Chains A and B, each alone.
With several copies, the nearest count.
Chain A
Amino acid sequence: MALDKIGIAKRIAQELHDGWYVNLGIGIPTLVANYVPEGMQVEFQSENGILGMGPFPFDGEEDADLINAGKQTVTLLDGASLFDSAMSFAMIRGQHVQLTVLGAMEVAENGDIANWKIPGKMVKGMGGAMDLVASAENIIVAMMHTNKRGESKILKKCSLPLTGVGCVKKIVTNLAVLEVVPEGFKLIERAPGVSVEEIQNATEGTLIVEGEIPEMKID
């Protein structure tokens, strides 16, 4: 069975490492914060100026002066720090943030990513995405394997305007975990009950299948 958004977030949470600073994009990535493995020390960065971001505030305790990059009211954990946008992107550009998780419209087998613009449609802007993908040492893309029309988002070449070139290392979709390697997308894991054939059919880019592909373990 293909994963839902929470399943994708849970699987990505398994990629976290103790001591990592992590920037989570809007949407599925934000959910990852809820599934940090017990006892693991991870700090979440919000590019509008927070390190050590906590959960949403209790009803009635929200503060208009404390929001995340998705403009949602948030809280701070003990040890958090606040800073300006230049400092925030100094952290990102300077590769002090170890992991960026973000959504995408398309990913290509050379690691290119497109997630900000559809020609002919209203363009809202790239926000911090271009800075994040150009700098992050680890980028995990969290997305559905196919778009609403059932077309693959895992491509030989991106058709949309790019957000960054050759930067994506790993993709977690509702169907699979893929690694971007020189030869294409290497299939690492299957969603529970999803076959290699189903993944192959949903993947337009070169899919590399070596040996037995294990199922994801999601609790």
Chain B
Amino acid sequence: MINKVINNVQEALEGVEDGMTFMLGGFGLCGIPENSIAELVRRKVKNLTCISNNAGVDDFGLGLLLHQRQIKKMISSYVGENDEFERQMLSGELEVELIPQGTLAERCRAAGAGIPAFFTPAGYGTEVAEGKETREFDGKMYVLEKAFKPDFAFVKAWKGDTAGNLIFKGTARNFNPMMAMAGKITVAEVEELVPAGELDPNQIHVPGIFVQRIFEGKDYEKRIEQRTVRPKN
């Protein structure tokens, strides 16, 4: 097997530079690459374009990069719950491109799957379709959407092996698999890194071919945005 193990997050992020385009997995704060984000903050790379479904909260996730004004442009489907984001966006410091969530997911998969463009009905007749080719198939209208081209993808998995294979847990999967497919260099941080052969080959969510660098992350906070519970009786 091809060994993808990197010693630590510092090595894993070697080559990140100002002005690059990154994909970052996660939905809300669920399944985000916490270690990689912390290292991006430490490195202070700036003028970044970040493709991520959400933009974190003020003091966690991508909010940490926003706070240091490292992000030039966000490409997301939903960016609520973030005051600093709002301030930067309204002041024009931050460029924001909003994309329907399914289109975002499919543009990531397309990037990884060598499909330069595809038709989707999402956004037809709305400002999302402005300037884009539209076409009718079987009486319904569709919009032509294109694959992304990120320099790096940062993803977070539950378990991974030395060959780069990844397994996710719960809804922490979300955008991570297709972003892993899309990255020119994909950096995967995992909660538990195991030797090749320990994971069931039938149950791999992301085959190691898509992962260039893997490391075991630490100190996962896994913050919950909306703790909703029922009383135990």
Contact = CB atoms under 8 A, between A and B. Distances in A.
Q: Within 8 Å by CB, do A and B touch in the complex? A: yes
Interface string B82-111: 000010011000001010111111101101
A97 B43 CA distance: 32
Contacts of B196: 78-79
A152 B232 CA distance: 42
A216 interface: no
Contacts of A166: 125
Given A48-B30, A67-B28, A41 B231 contact: no
Interface string A43-61: 1011111111001111111
Nearest to A125: B78
Size class of B's contact patch? 35 or more
B10 interface: no
Contact of B114 (A41, A66, A95): A95
Interface string B162-195: 1101001111111111100100000000000001
A86 B177 CA distance: 9
Interface residues of A, number: 75
Contacts of B177: 84, 86
Contacts of B105: 84-86, 88-89
Given A81-B204, A83-B204, A125-B77, A41 B1 contact: yes
A94 B229 CA distance: 33
B127 interface: yes
B232 A58 contact: yes
B77 A56 contact: no
